A = this chain, B = another copy of it.
């Protein structure tokens, strides 16, 4: 449809290890189960309440699936951006059923790891990088950044 947007942003923790499945055509999907939660105080009793929401995530982007598989673990905190998709399937009795997932397709999705870098003896990888010059010129614009982030050959975070 002209002019539509379908976007989900989740920051939460994995409830279990990522699961990767390969299809007969060579394609892959990586499934995540992510928890978010909100808390509030009950209007009547004054008790503190909390509810956890569980999100099903399906990553079809090959680069992002590889990252998810390699770097995410049960308990990892992650930022996920994808789109809502509901798919129809049939249960054993032949009845229509629907499942809604947060889906990351190529070019339409993002993953950002939010776990602190466990510093395992190797030096700091995330020093205090600074604003960085070289970002001007006559037009006031530089084009050095107009490139595809490489997802595939390195750790992009």
With both chains docked as a complex, state the minimum distance between the C-beta of A147 and any C-beta of chain B, in angstroms. 5
Q: Report the contact-size class of chain A (Cβ under 8 Å from the partner).
A: 35 or more
Residue of B nearest to A112 (CB): B3
Inside 8 A of A129's CB, which chain B residues have their CB?
Answer: 1, 37, 48-52
Please tell me if the beta carbons of B147 and A35 are within 8 angstroms of each other in the complex. Answer: no
A25: shortest Cβ distance to chain B, in Å? 7
Contact of A112 among B4, B55, B102, B110 (CB under 8 A): B4
Enumerate A83-114 residues with CB–CB distance to B below 8 Å: 83-89, 97-100, 102, 105-108, 110, 112-114
* A76–chain B nearest beta-carbon distance, Å: 11
| Known contacts A12-B6, A21-B139, A140-B87; A1 and B35 CB within 8 A of each other | yes
Taken residue by residue from 1 to 34, chain A's Cβ proximity to chain B (1 for < 8 Å, 0 otherwise) reads as 1111111111111010000010101010100000
- Complex CA–CA separation, A125 to B86 (angstroms): 25
Query: Once the chains bind, are B9 and A5 in contact (CB under 8 Å)?
Result: yes
User: Which B residues lie within 8 Å of A136 (CB)?
Assistant: 87-89
Q: List 30 A-B contacts (CB under 8 A).
A: A1-B13, A1-B36, A2-B117, A2-B126, A2-B157, A3-B114, A4-B38, A4-B112, A6-B38, A7-B9, A9-B9, A10-B84, A11-B112, A25-B143, A27-B146, A29-B139, A42-B144, A48-B129, A51-B129, A54-B86, A54-B131, A60-B141, A60-B145, A77-B114, A77-B116, A79-B79, A84-B102, A87-B135, A99-B140, A106-B147
